[in-house]
Structure 1
Amino acid sequence: MAVNQGWDAARFQPLLAPGEGICRTCHDVEVEVSGDSIMGTKSGNHKGSACLTTQRFVVGVKNPRGPVQSISMPFYCLQGIEVKQPIFGANYLTGYMRSDTNGGWNGRCQFKMYFNSGGAIEFAMDFMRLLRAVPPNPPPYEHVVAHAVPVAQPVAQPAQPYPSAPPAEYQDESKGGTQPAASAYYQPSNPHTMYVPAQQATAPPADPDAPPSYYDATKKQQ
């Protein structure tokens, strides 16, 4: 058994090792841990959700401020697993477990996992099937460590400067310029920016086929 390992408390889900998969999840469970070798904050009752995987079962504790956030039990650490169906009270799974390598404690203890909302029989059937498939000398289970995911920072976009006014040589010819103000030019500091002056409104050309105006018609009659 390992304490506070192989569990993502932020997402409230197990951290799976390579090749590991989830077989069954059961909510509203309560794990009671007792024994002389597991005294202190790790003993007692812990409420949360249980996940049965292909290599272990892990209980995530719904108490973000408690000292125990999760209890992970690889199959090779378990012995004497039984299902109890009392006349009064919820069905529960019981057995013994020993400490795992670097599991946060040393020794052997007893556990009882109560299924307050049902599901004990189905959970136990899958559990027994997986236990029978455990090899005699399995390799130690490597708990996955949760790493903080860096938050992407927004990239500051460079400010696009407004195009400056055209230089003096592009001003109106009446002021000594060498090019009419209506011409466009590219800004030397930013060749991708083109300065286009506003077009001045001009009178449309006279239509030779248009009828004479009232002034011209009356003037000819006089």
Structure 2
Amino acid sequence: MSLNNSHYGTNGVLLYNGEIILIYYDGVEVSFDPDNEVPLMKGHKKGRIYLTSHRVVFVNKNQNDLFQSFSMPFMCMRDLDIEQPVFGANYIKGQVRAEQGGKWNGMAKFKVWFNNGGAIEFGQCLMNAGRLASQARAAQQFVINHSFNSNIYPAPPPAYTALNPNSYGWVPMDRFPDRPQGNTVYMYDSPPPYSGIFEKNETHTFNQTYQNVTNGFVDPKDPSKAYVASAPYPDEAPPNYQESLNKKKD
């Protein structure tokens, strides 16, 4: 897990090129019990959670908290379980280890409460994604390289628009119908540094996708299927964040 590497702007989430948001949920509460003293991880954090094709990302709603986001690649999690207490909201618990360069060290227990329901469905989907990711990688360490000198730009719609309900078969779109606002999703130029749910040696970048399908996007699990995106995306390189702001002012 890495800290404060997955947010951008005001409550925005920062993805890798080719990463896809499977589930978006606004209204979770998280807490950590690290084996080492980590001041940033103290207390409960409230915000938004994203299950992507490669990891779990949380973005804090409290802009005054020094803890703004976390990223949990599937390979860093273990002992996942879903708790259903008699009183209080259902929650997911587990353990997570720090990534190299992740701004903390050691292991930590974590809990994620779903105050408006959805813990069971989210947990099951997370476990399915984790199993697929484990099939696509050999056990190894990765060094996080979040260089803000690289380009960051608004993500194209396929990164966050709803998937076809039958495209994966295990994503509960009926339980999590909401999608994040397009102006809160940003993307690096670089691809993820660790494996996700895609098959081994299978790579997907959105520039390549849009060269093939100009008015929709390709299902990563079945490239023969294309779905309509929320809006077409230009063939040229996407604008960076500052250029987007200038266009809005004009």
Q: TM-score range by the shorter chain?
A: 0.5 to 0.7
> Using a 3 Å threshold, how does the CA distance of structure 1 residues 117 and 108 change in structure 2: closer, same or farther?
same
Cα distance, 1:121 vs structure 2: 1.2
> Using a 3 Å threshold, how does the CA distance of structure 1 residues 63 and 143 change in structure 2: closer, same or farther?
farther
Cα distance, 1:123 vs structure 2: 0.6
Task: Provide TM-score, normalisation by structure 2.
Answer: 0.56
How many residues end up aligned between the 2 structures? 153
Partner of 1:66: 65
Partner of 1:140: 142
Q: Does 1:149 align with 2:241?
A: yes
Does the 8 Å CA contact 1:5/1:145 hold for their aligned counterparts?
A: no
Partner of 2:128: 129
* Counterparts of 1:39 and 1:63, CA distance in 2: 18
Aligned to 2:40, the other structure's residue is in SS state helix
* Counterparts of 2:75 and 2:17, CA distance in 1: 18
Does the 8 Å CA contact 1:29/1:113 hold for their aligned counterparts?
A: yes
> Using a 3 Å threshold, how does the CA distance of structure 1 residues 17 and 143 change in structure 2: closer, same or farther?
farther
Report Cα offsets for 1:23-58 as digits up to 9, x if no partner: 101111000111231431322211101000011001
- Report percent identity of matched pairs: 34
Higher relative contact order (CA 8 A, sep 6+): 2
Write out the 4+ residue segments of structure 1 that deviate beyond 4 Å after TM superposition.
Answer: 141-148, 151-154
Partner of 2:77: 78
Aligned to 1:15, the other structure's residue is in SS state strand
* Counterparts of 1:45 and 1:111, CA distance in 2: 11
Cα distance, 1:74 vs structure 2: 0.8
Does the 8 Å CA contact 1:15/1:144 hold for their aligned counterparts?
A: no
Q: Which amino acid aligns with 2:6?
A: G
* Counterparts of 1:96 and 1:153, CA distance in 2: 43
Q: Which amino acid aligns with 1:90?
A: A
Q: Which amino acid aligns with 2:93?
A: T
Aligned to 1:124, the other structure's residue is in SS state helix
Which has the greater radius of gyration? Answer: 1
Unmatched 5+ stretches in structure 2: 153-239
> Using a 3 Å threshold, how does the CA distance of structure 1 residues 138 and 14 change in structure 2: closer, same or farther?
farther
Q: Within 5 Å, which residues of 2 pair with 1:29-68?
A: 29-68=28-67
* Counterparts of 2:84 and 2:66, CA distance in 1: 30
* Counterparts of 2:97 and 2:84, CA distance in 1: 24
> Using a 3 Å threshold, how does the CA distance of structure 1 residues 93 and 80 change in structure 2: closer, same or farther?
same
Name the stretch that deviates more: 117-126 or 30-39: 30-39
Partner of 1:118: 117
> Using a 3 Å threshold, how does the CA distance of structure 1 residues 41 and 108 change in structure 2: closer, same or farther?
same
Partner of 1:105: 104
Aligned to 1:31, the other structure's residue is in SS state strand
Cα distance, 1:101 vs structure 2: 1.5
* Counterparts of 1:69 and 1:16, CA distance in 2: 15
Report Cα offsets for 1:177-206 as digits up to 9, x if no partner: xxxxxxxxxxxxxxxxxxxxxxxxxxxxxx
Does the 8 Å CA contact 2:48/2:58 hold for their aligned counterparts?
A: yes
* Counterparts of 1:23 and 1:143, CA distance in 2: 23
Aligned to 1:122, the other structure's residue is in SS state helix
Does the 8 Å CA contact 1:26/1:50 hold for their aligned counterparts?
A: yes
Aligned to 2:99, the other structure's residue is in SS state coil
Does the 8 Å CA contact 1:38/1:109 hold for their aligned counterparts?
A: no
Aligned to 2:32, the other structure's residue is in SS state strand
Task: Provide TM-score, normalisation by structure 1.
Answer: 0.63
Aligned to 1:150, the other structure's residue is in SS state helix
Aligned to 1:50, the other structure's residue is in SS state strand
Name the stretch that deviates more: 138-147 or 113-122: 138-147
Partner of 1:3: 3
Does the 8 Å CA contact 2:101/2:144 hold for their aligned counterparts?
A: no
- C-alpha RMSD of the superposition: 2.3
